[in-house]
Amino acid sequence: MDTNFDLSSILKLAIQTPLFSALSLKESQELLSYFEFDSYKEDDIIFKQDGSPNSIYLILNGTIKLVRKKEKSEFKIKNFTSGECFGETALLGILPYVASAIVVEDCKVLKLSKISLHKLSKNNLLLFNKFLFNLSREICRKLHNTDIFLTDLIYENDILKNNH
């Protein structure tokens, strides 16, 4: 375990994130036991676009960007920083990753593998359900923001068309 992140500091950071909201301290500790600690260096690729999902990631520190390639173009979807999660939509939806996750700034993350998620469902169904509820809320927030972004983009595109 990294000297900058002992178990108590990881727990303090984790319980401040939406994935651990409405969980008791005991539940948070138990949930945390299913996560693995990992670190990445700048320019590391955590997963590749179209790859098979393996984990949900929670950033403790650092920055990660999601980048989608389409033909010869590359689009940055979003930067994720401390307290944010990514990879959950692909894992829960059993869908390929929509983008590649690339480290912008050295980072420390917690990963919950699909195997650990399955173990959680077998070992503590109530905690599993609470965690899924938190994940669902996080996915809904992201979908809401995507809807706003897309409608703003369509609106701007319509304005550009009408001005020409």
> Residues near 10 by Cβ (< 8 Å), separated by ≥ 6?
32, 37, 60, 110
Q: What does the pLDDT read at residue 3?
A: 41
Those residues of the chain that have pLDDT short of 70 are 1-5
pTM of the predicted structure, to 2 decimals? 0.84
- Write phi, then psi, for 66 (nearest 5 degrees): -100, 130
Give the HSE-up count for residue 30: Cα atoms under 13 Å, Cβ half-sphere. Answer: 16
Q: What does the pLDDT read at residue 49?
A: 96
Q: What does the pLDDT read at residue 4?
A: 55
Q: What does the pLDDT read at residue 2?
A: 42
